[in-house]
Amino acid sequence: MKRSITSLFVTIFAIVLPKIASACATCSSQMEEFDMTGTIGVLFFMGSLMMLLVGWLVVKSFQSKTPWVSASGPEYDGEGEFRVPASKLGTITLLLVVTSIFSLIASAYYIRMSIGDWVPLNEPALLWQNTGILALSSFAIHWAQSASKKDHVKQVRTALIATGIFTFAFILGQIATWQLLYDQGYYAFTNPSYAFYYVLTGLHIVHLLGGLWFWGMSTIKALSNKTNIDDIKTSIECLTLYWHFLLLVWIGLFALLLAT
Amino acid sequence: MAHQAMADTDVELYHPKTWLGKWVFSQDHKIIGYQYMTTAVSIGLVALYLSVTMRLQLAFPGEFSIIMPNEYYQAVTMHGMIMIVYLLTAFFLGGFGNFLVPLMCGARDMAFPYVNMISYWVYLVSVLILVASFFVDGGSSGAGWTLYPPQAITPGTPGAGVGGGNMGIILMLVSLAVFIVAFTMGGLNYLTTALQARCRGMSLMRMPLSVWGIIMATILGLLAFPALFVSAIMMLLDVTLKTSFFMPAVTSLGETLEHTGGSPILFQHLFWFFGHPEVYIVALPAFGIVSDLLSTHARKNIFGYRMMVWAILAIGVLSFVVWAHHMYVSGMNPYFGFFFATTTLIIAVPTAIKVYNWVLTLWKGNIHLTIPMLFAIGFIFTFTHGGITGLFLGNVVVDLPLSDTYFVVGHFHMVMGVSPILVIFGALYHWYPKMTGRMLNHKMGMIHFWVTFLGTYAIYLPMHYLGFLGVPRRYYAMGDASSWIPSSAQDLNVAITIAALFVAAAQIMFVYNLIASIWRGEKADSNPWKATTLEWQTPDTPPKHGNWGPSLPVVHRWAYDYSVPGYEQDYLPQNLATEDSKQ
């Protein structure tokens, strides 16, 4: 019995899986319609995200002793499980969603690019300056975070306001690139590369605006003298995470635009 | 009454000061859950009405002036979209997710109550936008619920409007995008609450399977809905700014449209990358809830708890690598089809594990044929039947001839229409006493179950046969083109419609039962089913804001201690300590 099960598994792993793998490889090379390499890369990335989440849950399911043998008092493996605050966990989950949005649209970009009528985008040089400004905003909010850890209220205020200014400047800069392209006669319907440019930058701006909403709430709290600095430490931490992440997303998008 | 909001933190629970803050703009997860449920049922009744008009047309073609060809396609579209997204997803995750997750985990409320409240109101806005699309020029979109371009945004499609304003499809896409924003806000809550706000002793492996199902469905939703979001936005731009993401060069009504080079297949990939996980977003909470119902009403622990958890996780992962099996007829590389057929059939393994475990839970159990139990057992039947026809359709060669026939209609209604809805019914009968403090009317419940369950078979089994005959789906009427279909098919259509009318009437009666029992129902005690899970152990029924009174519960055992040998009572609540239970 045991041997037959073992041989079944050996068959699956030794024969069936390589077959499927080789079929996948052929399938990607033989797809005449699309160039699937970019898409498969994106899917692989999404898959690893999923595996990470689920793998963690599976590992947890082993750590607990047989759940049905119990009643020996409250074992609390909740303790030490998440020492991060709930809002930080929520932010991380949100970042997963954002990752999903941008990787899917990148995969759509790759697929659409492989269809005949694609004319590569003529990137406005202004994008380099904008990238620098966004990086500055990321530095500024990082400064706010480290200042809040040291309880320097005044520095936190300055840093937060600097973050806001740089971020607004970045958004205005991005809109200026739209105006530049528009003036040169590159409309959204001119070519899908321009349509994708407007969508990608637009979505990124929307995410920044969402971040600015929460930035506004924290900044108002930070500016008021009644607020205890400890109350906004976690929110500043979440904001920092979010800002760094959006900088990362932007660098990824910019690289995608430059490379194609 | 300042209680800590969560175990391990010292944040105080928010208390509303006004009537409006308590009942309308409430941050209480239970109220938000009820709001979600009410809205979902209301829009669901619209979808029910649409399905009745479609059935009347199919049985008696041309007899009713309320439904003309255009309206028929609009009804197909709106029925599908409402049922899948605005009813099932919203009811399971928005409704039960909100109501059950904090109660079952022993939390006072969701992790972010304010975001949770916003989530409901944004959902309501998305429903209102959807409803508004019925009333614009040309009416709602008639492109089919999959909204495939180029059909969906080409002039002449039902709902495009006289001037080709395309308001129907625009409102549909906007509504979907808004819904996804609402879902994301809710989803962050369900996941964070289940991971973060569990009470002392509630380890992950002591959570009831309902919570497992809901959080896994949430993870799927958070990762899959962005695909729909992205495709909705890109299609919106195709409609409004005349971009060519999805639109190829099309000549419509003798005119060449402004689009060139777009790929409709790209839309299908994005849509089904969301669409297939969506099936499991609906199914996984149903799996979890039905496990709890079966265990409670059979007075027996769930068979293979750990295997059930792993099966939920495995189904969740696999559901992301099968999407192209919805696209076999779009034409694809044979190796591509081979890959997706294989992954599709592999999903049968964890699913079959779950079905076996449900049946083995019933085996030698002390089965109480209460109404929730009847619905749960009914679910095993309909789900198995729908699942088995899914194995047919998962194969490329079988799918190609069957894809555009009623076989597919029978299949997906059985597996992801009726089955989750039976679980919703069962769950409502089960948790209604906790929500309102009163029981639902038993006699009406019996009628409701038997009419619905037998009606399901009277409606959907013949559809499989119609599919084998080659009756095409999505047709307003057969016409001359389908002369190969025997005339007896029409008699069958009449029979199906009569059954459908009875089932629809039973649902109206159920809604009446839900409303009337709030006042007239028989008073229920706090734990009428003698269940072990935490939501039945609240000090008040219905639970007050904050759920647990002065102190949070402490959990000492898993959720399935039914009929444990050596104890007088046949259930041991999760928060019962060993010393107390010895007596």
Give which of A107, A92, A104 is closest to B228, Cα–Cα.
Answer: A104
Worst-scoring range by mean pLDDT, B135-139, B175-179, B290-294? Answer: B135-139
The confidence band for B76, taking pLDDT boundaries of 50, 70 and 90, is: very high
Cα angle for residues A59, A63, A64 (degrees, 5° grid): 125
CA distance A151 to chain B (A): 21
Taking CA atoms, B478 is separated from A21, B57, B61, B63, B490, in Å, by: 45, 11, 9, 14, 9
Q: In the structure encoding, which two tokens stand for residue B258, read together?
A: 């402004």
Q: A35, A61, A82, A119: which to substitute to probe chain B, counting the most B Cβ within 10 Å?
A: A61
- The residue-averaged pLDDT of B188-208 equals 89
With a CB cutoff of 8 Å and minimum separation 6, the contacts of B328 are B337, B340, B396, B399, B400, B403
Give me the pLDDT at residue A30, please: 47
Second CATH level (architecture) for the domain B20-581: Up-down Bundle (1.20)
Q: Determine whether domain A87-116+123-259 maps to CATH 1.20.140.10.
A: no
pLDDT in tens, B373-409: 999 999 999 999 999 999 999 999 999 999 999 999 9
B230 touches chain A (CB under 8 A): yes
Beta-carbon separation of B9 and A192 below 8 A: no
What pLDDT is recorded for position A45?
A: 73
The pLDDT tens digits of the residues spanning B226-246 come to 999 999 999 999 999 889 899
When the pLDDT of each residue in chain B is averaged and rounded to a whole number, the result is 90
**pLDDT of B8 over the 60 cut:** no
Q: What is the pLDDT of residues B403-459, one digit of tens each?
A: 999 999 999 999 999 999 999 999 999 999 999 999 999 999 999 999 999 999 999
pLDDT at B9: 52
Helix H or strand E segment including B71 = helix B69-81
> pTM score, two decimals?
0.92
% pLDDT > 90, chain B? 68
Which of B9, B153, B188, B247 would best serve as a mutation to test chain A binding (most A beta carbons within 10 A)?
Answer: B188
In chain A, where are the structural domains located? 87-116+123-259
Lowest mean per-residue pLDDT among A16-25, B160-169, B359-368, B554-563: A16-25
Interface contact A112-B237, CB threshold 8 A = no
In tens, the pLDDT along B288-336 reads 999 999 999 999 999 999 999 999 999 999 998 898 899 999 888 888 8
Q: Which residue of B has its CA nearest to A94?
A: B188
The shortest CB-CB distance from B243 to any of A87, A100, A189 is to A189
pLDDT in tens, B12-54: 677 777 888 888 899 999 999 999 999 999 999 999 999 999 9
Query: What angle, 0 to 180 degrees and rounded to 10, lies between the N-to-C axes of helices B442-469 and B419-436?
Result: 170
> What are the beta bridge partners of residue B571?
B562
DSSP count for chain A of H helices, then E strands: 8, 0
* DSSP SS3 for B424: helix
What is the pLDDT at residue A60? 76
3-state secondary structure A87-118: HHHHHHHHHHHHHHHHHHHHHHHHHHHCCCCC
- Residue A65: pLDDT over 70: no
Q: Per residue in A172-221, pLDDT tens?
A: 999 999 999 999 888 888 888 999 999 999 999 999 999 999 999 999 99
Among A27, A76, A108, beta carbon nearest to B339: A27
- Considering only residues 103 to 132 of chain B, which have any Cβ-Cβ distance to chain A shorter than 8 Å? 111-112
CA distances (Å), origin B28, targets B22, B35, B434, B547, B548: 8, 11, 15, 10, 13
Q: Could A111 and B269 be called an inter-chain contact, meaning their C-beta atoms sit closer than 8 Å? A: yes
Taking the C-alpha atoms of residue A68 and residue B300, their distance in angstroms, rounded to an integer, is 12
Q: What is the DSSP letter of B255?
A: E
Chain B contact set for A115 (CB, 8 A)? 261-263
